[in-house]
Each structure stands twice: as structure tokens, then as C-alpha cells.
Amino acid sequence: MMRQYELVERVVKYDPDANEDLLNRAYVYAMRAHGNQKRASGEAYFNHPLEVAAILTEMKLDDATVAAALLHDTVEDTSVTHQEIEEKFGKEIASLVEGLTKIKKLDLVTKEATQAENLRKLLLAMSRDVRVLLVKLADRLHNMRTLDHVSPEKRIRIAQETMDIYAPLAGRMGMQALRDELEDIAFRVLDPEANRTISERLKRLHDESGDVLRQIEKELVAKLAENGIKVEVYGREKRPFSIWRKMERKHLSLGQLSDIFAFRVIVGTVDQCYRSLGIVHRTWRAIPGRFKDYISVPKQNDYRSLHTTVIGPHHMRVELQIRTRLMHEIAERGVAAHALYKDAPDAKEALDGFKSPAAESNAYRWLRHLVEMLQEGESPKEFLEHTKLELFHDQVFCFTPKGQLIALPRGATPIDFAYAVHTSIGDSCVGCKINGRHAPLVTELANGDEVDIIRSEAQVPPPAWEGLAVTGKARSAIRRATRAAARKQFAGLGKEIVEKLLAKHNRAFAETEITAAIPRLGHKNVADALAAIGRGDLSGKDMLMAMGLEAGDGKAKPIRKRTSKAGESSNQLSVPVRGAGVNTALKIATETGAVPGERIVGIITPGEGLTIYPIFAKALEQFDSEPERWVDLAWDATSPEQKFPARIKLTILNEVGALAQIAQVIGEGGGNIDELQMSARAAARDFFDLDILIEVHDVKHLNKIMAGLRSRSIVSSVSRVAG
């Protein structure tokens, strides 16, 4: 285990102004807090936060981040409280530890909606302070390095989670070295046979070509030195997972790969990068189509280098990556290197093109863009779709007529381009010009294309565009725009219907009267209620009744409360719906429940009456072949005291007091638990599934309680049961 003074020396070596007292206090405090705790491997638990801190020193992070790494498990796994951390180490470190404690509770490999919700939490924590992500990635790396000590089932789950979320996230934040190691360890767990085959082949190639590689390094150094360029050259071979990914993407066999070896050529300035490229191309034959200039056009994670592939010495095909020292640091450490930019003597030239690197880097802009998507996404599923596309795409670079660079995924169309520039441009797009010529909106864009979007304010994006778009941003914006357009049309139709009905009562349409009636109909606002009438989900007569009028006789009458008649089912009084017969017995399906504000239908059962289902209930599928049993129903006006059943499903952490927290949220929200079932998850023992039949006033009341449940840290997911 690393000694206290060794950790401090590591930090002071790259940051002489580091707070040594802070690091010493954090080391001792964390060691005492974890005491005799052990990890699955049997080693002292404190070794884990210490190794995480050591990984962060390799990234050359500040003393506060290293201290937070030492303390990151204390609140979660010991008796230490957040308040104690703040008192002893200050608000900055306490905030970092709190963010890490929340992230630790996430279970990202779950159902899609849950995965999306948890990814939202992770990205929000990152957006407040990106150092939370850096500590989390270092934490994940050490856990991956010690993965052999956990059960096979858990090992596969963690490896898949790493491959799906953490490794791509590290890549998008520019931390390539960390991403490579995460992917290789996960690949070793998820596909051991493929990993073994590729690793053995790489070893043979290295043994056969080792001397040749060293000779190529020497020749490169000598050739550039002849031209007055001092250079460092590092030969490297591609990682097993990188090779596997390329084989799958290009449908190649291992024997067909010819650029397994690459050389990083480190020079002093940007000018020397381009001079070195010219010398290399004059000396060895370049392979056409293999040159990429990521200095002039950086990747979205701030990666900058010149890439070229040549037939080098000994007729070996080799890839060269030419960059400055600072570019190399950024390529390896990404956002972790940003703190050093402004202090570096050659930062201005090496990072030419960045206005304020620490604040305006592409990686930070990407993170801010994702956080904006949290507000725009109509559902967690849409957000997850967008985020995964953002994490995994290859890029093409296109330009606006004014020269603005737009990075898009490969296969993107002008529709994606328009939405990438701005949502309003995408919504008003009617055509485009590519490189000065009119082109269809389905054209696949290529690197270097200049795209000019033709707009019309009268345009509404057609729903079919969703299938043409590639980016998540474009797809979600198209869905949002088409929903808004349809809602506007239905609201207009609904207003006409209500106006005509009011005219029969010699009443004019007054939005204030409509607004007062909205709570009785279970809708958020006037526009929603009118749209529901236009769609047919709500009748105009329901609106009049909610306003205190009866429709049909031309006179205004107050609503009278119905009284029970002899022989009439008592269920009829507790379920106020329109569309059923006067003496029809009614009941709500307990497998789903149904509440005002949800569209409902009734299913006739001879001798039993009508069973009410929400329109999304899966049970309705069994009656598809019996249309004669279906009855179209609508909610009648309800009294403020009435409550209705709705079944919801929760996934919660297996913690002491978890069930009490759930009951507290429901009780404080004015709901009532009518039935509750709990079951342990077979695949994840740390979680329980709860099935709750809850009584609420309407769908607005239900959504408020579900939102309150989602806000609790013990809750992984909440959803309405469809049966």
C-alpha cells in the first residue's frame, strides 16, 4: 500500500503549490474512517480510495480532487456524515464527495427507462463539477483492475456497464488512455476467447517485428533531426479491443489488418507538426485517403494531431500521429489536462484556435449540450437514445456558409445538420444546398461539405423526417415539433366545439371560466383540455358539466349530485363515468387501476357489468377480436374528496428504512396505499421491486407523487403499470 508521504510527493512533484496539510489530513481521516473494513479480495478497504487517488495523481489533478478521492467512500460506507466532511475539509471537497456518493447508488445496467434516468443523474452531477466524473472514472478503473475478486455474474454486469457507459464517456471527455484500459479489461471479461486470440496474435507480431519497430523509430528521429526538428517517437501497437472493433466495423479478418502498429511523433510546435508531415511524405510513400488533419479541425473531445499512413522502412505499413507535447497530454488525459493549459509556456501556439481552453473546450461544450437535452427530452427514453448516439458515433465535419464547423455522426443528412446549427433552423428547413448545388434532404453528408439550409417560417417538420434523421437531437426535436403542431390543431378544433356548445346556452367562450373548470377534468391547462376535446379523448359536454352547465336543452342548469336508486350497484356511485348504462355495474381493473385524466374504455362481462381499463392496459389485447364488448367511456365530473386506484411499480435499493421512505412520500403527497407487494430481484440482490396500488384524485395527483418518489436517492425507477 502506498505510504502517506509517497502520495503527497506525487502531487507536489507536478503541483508545488499543493496543500500538503490537506492531503495529509484527508489520508489519515479516510484511513481511520474505514478502519478494519475489507474488500472482496481480502485486502484493507482503504487501499481502494488510496489507489483511486494514485490514479488521479497520474492525471496530475489538483489537491482538492485527490483529497476527495481519498474520502469518496466515507459517507457511503462508514459512519462519517456529509456535515463532518464539510466541517473538516470545506464546502468544495464536501460537494465533490456528495456528488460521488449519489453516483455510487446508480445501477446503470437495468431496464432502458431506468438506465436513462440514472444517466441523467450522472451527467447532472458531472455538469456541476467535472472533477466528480474524473474521480468516478478513476474509481471505476481501480474496480475493473480488481474485477477478478467478485462473482462471475457481477463481473459481467460491471464489465457491460463499463463498456456501455463509462468507457465511451471517458473517450468523449478526451481521456483516451483511461478509455483504452477500461475497454480492454471489459473486453477480456465479456469475450475472453476473442481477446485471447487477438492478444496471442499481437504477441507473435511483436516478437517478429520488435527489431523493425525500433529501427523505424531511429530512422524517424534521424530524418527529422537532419531537418532541424527535435522529436520524440513512441512506437505502439493497437489495443485488443480497438482491433476487434475495427474488424467488426470494416468486416476484416485479423490477417487483413495492416496498420496494427502506430508511431506517435512528438514535436515542439504546431509549425513543426506540418513540417514533419512534409518530410515524412517526401521520404516515404503516403497511402491515399489516409491523411487526417485534426489540428485544423479538432475532434469534439479536443483531440488534435496530424494522422497519416505511409509505406515506411522495410516496406511496413505504419500509421503516424504527429502532435506537440501539449496535444499529446490532451490526447491522453483529456479534460484532466485542462487545468494546466493556461500555465503552459507554449499553450498559445499548441492550442491555437481555443479562446479559453478550460472554459470553452469542445468536451465541456458537449457536456453542457447534454445537460440542455435533459430539459428538452420528452421522456428519459428519448434522452438515452440521444446520449448513446452522441457517445458512440464516428464523425464527419461540415461547414455553414459562414464557415462555422459542425461535427455530425457518419451517415448524417442535411436535416441533422440543420438541427445541429439550431432547433429553429431545423424546424423551418424546407431544402438545402450542398457545396452550392441543390440537393435532397436525404443526402448523406461527407467530410468538408458546405451546407446551406433553405428555410420557410410556414414549415412544420413532417413526422417522416424522424426516420431520416441520424442524431438524437434531430429526432427528439422532430417529435417535439410534430406533437406541438398536432396539439395546436386539436386545441383549435376543441375550442370550436366548446364555442358551439356554449352558444346553445347563450354564453360566450371565456378562458377564465374554462380555467376554473380544468382541475375537475384532470388536465394541466386550457390548451391541454381543448386538445383532448379535439382529439375525442374528452367530450364537449364533459367540459360544460365541469363548468357547472348541462348540455342539450338550451338552458343553463347547475349540476345536481346523483342519488342512488333502489337496486342500483354501489360501484356506479364510486366510478363517475359517462357512456355506461344507468343501471350498469362498474368496477375498475385492479391490475392497472384507472384515474381521471387517463383515457378509459369499458369491457362488458355478461352478468358482471363493465370493467374499466386505461387505454394503455395490456389486458385489452385479449379483447381485440370481440369489438362488441368494448364501450367508449369518459370521466364525469368528480368531487374533490374522491380517490381512484392506480397501480405503479418501483425499483428501490435494499436499505434499512427504504419502505418507510416510500410510505412517507405517498402519505405526504396525499395518496393512500391500498395494496403493496415486494419481491427481491434475482439478478440484482441489492434491489427490490415494489408493486403498489395507490389511491389518488386524478392523473395530475398521481404524477406529482411519482415525481416525489423519483427524487428519493433510494428509488431507481418508478413507472405506471400497464398490466
- 6, 76, 87, 655: the active-site residue: 76
State the CB neighbour count (10 A cutoff) for residue 121: 18
Q: Which residue has the cell 492525471?
A: 59
Angle at 198 between CA 195 and CA 204, to 5 degrees: 135
- 15, 20, 77, 550: the active-site residue: 77
Distance of CA 591 to the CA centre of its chain: 32
For the chain, the first-to-last Cα distance in angstroms comes to 54
Amino acid (1-letter code) at residue 515:
T
CA distance 422 to 431: 15
Q: Which grid cell is 693? A: 396500488
CA distance 58 to 141: 13
> Does 698 participate in catalysis according to the annotation?
no
Angle at 490 between CA 487 and CA 493, to 5 degrees: 150
Task: Indicate the pairing of strand 644-653 with strand 715-720.
Answer: antiparallel
Q: Give the CA-trace dihedral at 459, 464, 467, 470, to 10 degrees.
A: 0
Distance of CA 55 to the CA centre of its chain: 26
Task: Indicate the pairing of strand 586-588 with strand 609-614.
Answer: parallel
* Those residues with Cβ within 8 angstroms of residue 160's Cβ, 6 or more apart along the chain or in another chain: 109, 186, 190
State the CB neighbour count (10 A cutoff) for residue 401: 11
CA distance 392 to 372: 19
CA distance 342 to 326: 11
Question: Please, what sign has the CA dihedral across residues 562, 563, 568, 574?
Answer: positive
Edge-to-edge strands, sheet with 609-614: 586-588, 609-614, 600-605, 630-632
> Does 76 participate in catalysis according to the annotation?
yes
Catalytic residue set: 76-77
